[in-house]
A and B are shown apart, each in its own frame.
Chain A
């Protein structure tokens, strides 16, 4: 297995994550992003780092699952209210084509920047550049707090990747601390979505 066989599906899955409006698809894509990064780390770094990434990704997906399910359950009027409260995109959102365009632009920019400014020499800079740009795009362009959260998690992964490329042999504390931060971030995001939804639901007009 070479790097390209992991990077191509990583690009596809992360694009899917940025444009998907179905929460199940977004969650599976997020887990797959972590799994593919773990596979990539298995090739370029150590199995310990790869395993830590897989465990972190699985924990993050498990932590976000209850919040996302709560937000998207209930009667159609409750779901509409949740969408209004959190600015969550519905199934007929017009933002999808724009996000797709954004993802394509991010991919093009990542290819250009990784060739013009290869931050880490002798390594594939495209993967982390692209994840970082996609994460930033999600944070800057989305009004939807869930997508902003997913963007933050993608950014964390990008930093994790570039750090692993700079220091291939990661220490125990470095792996543990960054995994704990990523899990803590997912927990905080999940709780914030739930609290915003629960407390906002007390107002009849959703405001």
Chain B
């Protein structure tokens, strides 16, 4: 880590956020975009640099942390672009750079997990602020308040879990046992990610809150939380030593997948059903991670990235479709098709990109227990049915000839296409993720 990289990762985004709050709209978006470019450059130039010591604390960026920051910057850019094209009025350009700076700061404190978790919590609070204020409806503020309370509770559980891990490390064999530490951290992670049965905020936010804030919560905070988990396990490898606990965590992933899939079949608002499809999808991340194998964790990280892209496409398409219903333009099936593609990609319908992300997790699970892999694959099929039935409820008549797509429809269709086809990227891009995971010494070597 160099002082220049530190300035690009932290200082510049903070300044950009303050600037974007006072600048006119176009300039504000430009400033925010510039700060995201700075984050990308900062993450890239810190490669191979020795740790930077400030106030007796060493700051460094691990390979997995670097990939996390690059992904967060790219996702943020996509969100900023959508927000600009859709001409939204919410203060995203002012809040996004500080949020990314908080995620970057968390990734830098490799050795101090409490500080890293505090910065992640700060990012969560910024996302909840946007969720409360983004939409003018009262229901959106309620969804924001639910997210605020549950994610803050999750953050407190994570902080407490790291304190307990410290106590356990200092006095092994004392009152604090490894299963107790893992249980506390699991509650925190489940609340942050929206894993069943602590998922309440996710379907609510998907149904009622604004798309930008929900994308921040799912597609930016989600990968950042996975980054924190891997960072924590690298420092506290003793937490993965109990196979019985790991087995429970894998079953927890399967339970989340099954619960979300079944809940998505329930009749109700289509957007809520799509939220449950996302809850179900989280099962892949949980199950892949809890195998603690290289292939499983690489698959889980890949799935988290894929889920973030698909969630962005789903949220943008669902939100714009609602706007289209109120618009005077003749209806055309562009957004509906984008939703269809995004659901198929999210649930891993072959040969779409989601299947590549699912495959690695299923392979890792089959090495542990083939029945778990079969169960997870079946849950994905049920979630697909739930998603499609929700989509059927959204379908309208689209009289031919269809009008040409407008700018926002083109953008959303492009996002759905990316979420469905990212697997065509060259092998080295995916190899970088595998190489970063290989450096995590707590993983089993297969």
Which A residues fall within an 8 A CB radius of B? 117-121, 139, 145, 148-149, 152, 155-156, 159, 162-163, 166-167, 171-174, 177-178, 180-181, 184-185, 187-189, 191-192, 195-196, 199-200, 202-203
Q: Enumerate chain B residues within 8 angstroms of A200, measured Cβ to Cβ.
A: 138
- CA of A79 to CA of B5, assembled, Å: 52
A118 and B171 CA atoms in complex are apart in Å by: 12
Q: Does A173 contact B138, Cβ atoms closer than 8 Å?
A: no
Most chain B C-beta atoms within 10 Å of own C-beta, residue among A139, A155, A187, A202? A155
| A117-B175, A173-B112, A180-B122 given; A155·B55 CB < 8 A | no
Count how many pairs of residues, one from A and one from B, have CB atoms less than 8 Å apart in the complex: 107
Q: Which of A152, A180, A187, A191 contacts B156 (CB 8 A)?
A: A152
Bound-state Cα–Cα, A188 to B153, Å? 14
- Give the residue name and chain of the B residue nearest to A117 (CB): B175
**Those 8 A-B pairs whose CB atoms lie nearest each other, nearest first:** A177-B118, A199-B138, A184-B125, A192-B145, A195-B141, A172-B55, A177-B115, A163-B163
- B160 contact set on A, CB distance < 8 A: 159, 162
Chain B, range 82-129, C-beta contacts under 8 Å to A = 109, 112, 114-115, 118-119, 121-122, 125-126, 128-129
A174 vs B118: C-alpha distance when bound (angstroms) = 8
Q: Is there an interface contact between A163 and B142, defined as CB atoms closer than 8 Å?
A: no
Contact yes or no, B163 A188, CB < 8 A: no
List, in ascending order, chain B residues with CB within 8 A of A177's CB.
Answer: 114-115, 118-119, 122
7 new A-B contacts at CB < 8 Å, known A119-B164, A192-B128:
A121-B174, A155-B153, A159-B163, A174-B112, A174-B114, A178-B118, A202-B138
Are B145 and A119 in contact, with the CB atoms below 8 A? no
Cα distance A8–B19 in the bound complex, in angstroms:
48
From known contacts A120-B167, A156-B156, A188-B148, infer whether A178 and B114 are also in contact, taking CB-CB under 8 Å: yes
Q: What B residues does A187 contact at CB under 8 A?
A: 125, 129
Within 8 A of A (CB), among B403-418: none
Q: In chain B, what residue has the closest Cβ to A202?
A: B138
B56 within 8 A of A: yes
Least CB distance, A184 to chain B, in whole angstroms = 4
CB < 8 Å: which of A148, A174, A178, A196 contacts B141? A196
In the complex, A117→B174 CA distance in Å? 10
User: How far, in angstroms, from A95 to B39 measured CA to CA in the complex?
Assistant: 50
Tell me, rounded to whole Å, the shortest Cβ–Cβ distance linking A30 to chain B: 16
Would you call B155 an interface residue if the criterion is a C-beta within 8 Å of the partner chain's C-beta atoms? yes
B175–A118 CB distance below 8 A: yes
Does any Cβ of A come within 8 Å of B368's Cβ?
A: no
Decide: A181 near B122, CB < 8 A? Known: A159-B156, A199-B136: yes
Assess A196 versus B138: contact at CB under 8 Å? Given A174-B114, A181-B121, A188-B129: yes
Give the distance in Å from the alpha carbon of A138 to the alpha carbon of B155 in the complex: 17
Asked if B167 contacts A166 (CB within 8 A), the reply is yes
| A159-B57 contact in complex given A174-B115, A177-B118, A192-B132, C-beta closer than 8 Å | no
Are B56 and A203 closer than 8 Å at their CB atoms?
no
Residues 165 to 200 of chain B near chain A (Cβ within 8 Å): 166-167, 170-171, 174-176
* A66-B46 Cα distance, complex, nearest whole Å: 43
Quick check: is B159 within 8 A (CB to CB) of the other chain? yes
Q: Measured between alpha carbons, how far is A184 from B145 in the docked complex, in Å? A: 14
Chain B, range 130-154, C-beta contacts under 8 Å to A: 132-133, 136-138, 141-142, 144-145, 148-149, 152-153
For residue B209, give the distance in angstroms from its CB to the closest CB of chain A. 12
B86 to chain A, nearest CB (A): 22
Q: Which residues of B contact A149 (CB under 8 A)?
A: 149
A192 and B170 alpha carbons, distance in the complex (Å): 40
Q: How far is the CA of A159 from the CA of B156 in the complex (A)?
A: 7
B422 to chain A, nearest CB (A): 34
When chains A and B are docked, how far (Å) is the Cα of A155 from the Cα of B163?
14
When chains A and B are docked, how far (Å) is the Cα of A149 from the Cα of B150? 11
Cα(A195)–Cα(B149), bound, Å: 15
In the complex, which residues of chain A have a beta carbon less than 8 angstroms from the beta carbon of B153? 139, 152, 155
Residues of A within 8 A of B132 (CB): 188, 191-192, 195
- Chain A: CB-nearest residue to B135: A199
Q: Which residues of A contact B159 (CB under 8 A)?
A: 159, 163, 178
List of B residues within 8 angstroms of A203 by Cβ: 138
* Interchain CA distance A180-B125 in the complex, whole Å: 11
**Residue from A139, A155, A189 within 8 A of B148 (CB atoms):** A189
Question: From B161, which residue of chain A is reached at the shortest CB distance?
Answer: A159
Among B55, B109, B156: residue with most chain A CB under 10 A: B156
The contact of A185 among B125, B145, B170, by CB within 8 Å, is B125
Which residues of the partner chain B approach A174 to less than 8 Å between Cβ atoms? 112, 114-115, 118
Among residues of B, the one whose C-beta sits closest to the C-beta of A203 is: B138
**Most B CB within 10 A of own CB, among A118, A121, A192:** A192
Shortest beta-carbon distance from A146 to chain B in Å: 11
A192 touches B144 (CB 8 A): yes
Cα–Cα distance between A162 and B164 once the two chains are bound (Å): 9
Are A119 and B57 also in contact (CB < 8 A) when A152-B152, A162-B160, A163-B114 are?
no
